[in-house]
């Protein structure tokens, strides 16, 4: 058996996407790809800085992650697909459970570190917000990096969106049909919202051959960001839900991408996002149910299996790139966690330990990952969705012992379940909006095309190289890192007495 010992790269402040599922917020023919990075990856911390952040992979990361989750509540391509990438190309860097990308907008083009969220619809950038915008962040080296703030008057390709636009949802607040269209989007994290006016400008894309495929899109010029946006997602959010105002819809309307996109969640924190990707003929699929909301990527689960126990029950869950871990409502939470617990041979960790997860177990010399129960969901239509690893492994700060936890949380702030990014690891998830299906296929998310793309129109912040994983010798039976496994190691800052 093999226990992996990658230090987990889930960084929590961009748990804003956990915190809000930026998703689950509402506002008023080719394939496009671009780089996505986790908010607290080493690459991004080099750009935005890690000053004041909890240490990567620590228990404090998970506490922050769960806090924001609660606040927020919410493969190869087919040969006939034309792939089109973001201006930077389709190679990817570190991602974890919360994603963002370098997006270039306007003329001349400017880069923005934009959060990617399948649980919300509107794309907005900080804009004309004077002293209220976060304009820089401190790097780990103590340097301050300037963040771009969008200014419509400085982009030659920018134009205003008036109140008579079909995309203007707040016409009743307009003084006249030719007034600037206002917008307001609220997130479930208390007090978190973005307000401003809608604008139109160019987003820069390119083909594999380097041919520009720019598209005019409508997005929010955010003049005010409140709540968590003072700390996270400070440079904008790209909503990817099913709505006319969402970027995927506008790329289809512009004729540069078909109505589908994929997000790939690699085992080692690498991934891709590809617009126009309809997946492959051998992927597994299930229809989108539209039960929770027509704008979300929710599916029907007809049964699930934990180890050898099958639970026949039907419920709906939404796949959300903006939520870090998986949240289940009752009675499904208890059914899954209880059956998992009954099949685990290891000693359960004392409840006095301050952990966000309820079911944690102490690793000993006899612990064996192969003996842990597997978790699998059967989707409507009969396709099986096998979770690569439902657990996370924690290392004590002094190295005296280690534990693993079932990374599932009880959903009490909403009446629906969420499949978070930890259950999407090792999959390319295809959001085929045209066919109304969700597809998945096992993938390590490597860039098989090797396409690096043309020189950027606007150079984004440089990203630091990925650090090497830390090797931990657990016991004579627990082997070092295996690339095929999806079990991650993270560190506890401290434990209370068992």
* Alpha carbon distance 447, 76 (integer Å): 10
Active site residue 298: no
Q: Which of 69, 277, 320, 395 is catalytic?
A: 320
* Alpha carbon distance 327, 407 (integer Å): 9
Burial code (b: 16+ CB inside 10 Å, e: under 16) for 62-98 equals bbbbbbbbbbbbbbebeeebbbbbbbbbbbbbbbbbb
Q: Is 219 exposed, middle or buried (0-12, 13-18, 19+ CB in 10 A)?
A: buried
Q: What count of Cα atoms within 13 Å lies in the side-chain half-sphere of residue 345? A: 9
E strand residue ranges, 364-400 = 375-379, 384-386, 391-395
Phi, psi of 273 (to 5 degrees): -130, 130
Active site residue 117: yes
- 318 and 119 in contact (C-beta within 8 Å)? yes
- 259 and 430 in contact (C-beta within 8 Å)? no
Q: Which of 69, 117, 121, 214 is catalytic?
A: 117
DSSP H helices in 56-172: 59-72
* DSSP 8-state assignment for residue 444: -
Instruction: Name the residue with tokens 């999407």.
Output: 424
* DSSP 8-state assignment for residue 208: T
DSSP string, 220-266: EEEEEEEGGGGTSSTT-EEE-SSSTTSHHHHHHHTTSS-SEEEEEE-
Tell me how far CA of residue 252 lies from CA of 144, 239, 276, 293, 422, in angstroms. 38, 15, 8, 21, 29
* Alpha carbon distance 318, 412 (integer Å): 15
* DSSP 8-state assignment for residue 325: S
In sequence order, what are the beta bridge partners of 116?
238
Long-range CB contacts for residues 304-307, cutoff 8 Å, separation at least 24: 304/332, 304/335, 304/336, 304/375, 304/376, 304/377, 304/378, 305/374, 305/375, 305/376, 305/377, 305/378, 306/336, 306/339, 306/340, 306/343, 306/373, 306/374, 306/375, 307/339, 307/340, 307/343, 307/373, 307/374
Instruction: Name the residue with tokens 């908010």.
Output: 39
Put the strands of the sheet holding 298-306 in their side by side order.
384-386, 375-379, 298-306, 309-319, 417-419, 326-328, 408-410
- 9 and 96 in contact (C-beta within 8 Å)? yes
* DSSP 8-state assignment for residue 441: E
The catalytic residues are: 117, 320
């Amino acid at each position: 058996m093999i226990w992996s010992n990658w230090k987990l790269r889930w960084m929590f402040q961009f748990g804003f996407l956990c915190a809000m599922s930026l998703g689950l917020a509402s506002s008023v023919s080719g394939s496009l790809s671009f780089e996505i990075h986790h908010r607290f990856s080493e690459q991004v911390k080099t750009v935005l800085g890690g000053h004041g952040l909890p240490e990567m992979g620590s228990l404090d990361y998970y506490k922050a992650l769960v806090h924001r989750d609660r606040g927020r509540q919410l493969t190869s391509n087919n040969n006939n697909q034309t792939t089109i990438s973001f201006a930077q190309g389709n190679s990817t860097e570190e991602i974890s459970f919360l994603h963002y990308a370098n997006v270039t907008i306007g003329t001349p083009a400017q880069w923005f570190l934009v959060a990617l969220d399948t649980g919300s619809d509107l794309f907005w950038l900080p804009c004309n917000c004077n002293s209220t915008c976060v304009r820089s962040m401190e790097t780990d080296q103590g340097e301050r990096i300037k963040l771009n703030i969008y200014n419509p008057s400085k982009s030659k390709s920018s134009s205003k969106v008036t109140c008579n636009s079909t995309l203007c949802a707040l016409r009743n607040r307009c003084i006249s049909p030719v007034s600037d269209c206002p917008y307001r989007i609220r997130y479930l994290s208390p007090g978190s919202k973005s307000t401003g006016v809608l604008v139109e400008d160019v987003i820069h894309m390119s083909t594999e051959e380097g041919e520009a495929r720019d598209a005019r899109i409508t997005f929010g010029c955010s003049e005010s960001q409140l709540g968590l946006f003072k700390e996270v997602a400070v440079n904008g959010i790209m909503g990817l839900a099913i709505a006319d105002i969402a970027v995927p819809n506008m790329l289809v309307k512009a004729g540069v991408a078909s109505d589908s996109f994929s997000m790939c969640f690699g085992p080692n924190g690498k991934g891709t996002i590809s617009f126009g990707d309809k997946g492959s003929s051998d992927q597994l699929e299930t229809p989108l149910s539209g039960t929770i909301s027509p704008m979300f990527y929710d599916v029907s689960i007809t049964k699930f299996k934990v180890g050898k126990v099958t639970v026949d029950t039907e419920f709906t869950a939404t796949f959300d790139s903006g939520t870090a871990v998986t949240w289940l409502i009752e009675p499904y939470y208890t059914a899954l966690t209880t059956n998992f617990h009954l099949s685990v041979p290891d000693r359960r960790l004392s409840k006095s330990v301050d952990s966000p997860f309820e079911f944690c177990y102490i690793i000993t010399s006899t612990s064996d990952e192969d003996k842990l129960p597997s978790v699998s969901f059967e989707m409507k239509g009969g396709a099986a969705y096998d979770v690569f690893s439902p657990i996370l492994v924690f290392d004590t700060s002094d190295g005296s012992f280690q534990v693993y936890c079932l990374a599932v949380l009880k959903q009490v702030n909403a009446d629906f379940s969420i499949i978070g990014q930890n259950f999407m690891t090792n999959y390319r998830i295809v959001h085929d909006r045209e066919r109304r299906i969700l597809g998945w296929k096992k993938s390590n998310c490597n860039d098989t095309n090797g396409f690096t793309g043309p020189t950027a129109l606007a150079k984004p912040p440089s990203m630091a190289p990925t650090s090497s994983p830390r090797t931990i010798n657990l016991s004579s039976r627990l082997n070092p890192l295996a690339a095929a496994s999806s079990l991650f190691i993270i560190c506890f800052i401290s434990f209370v007495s068992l």
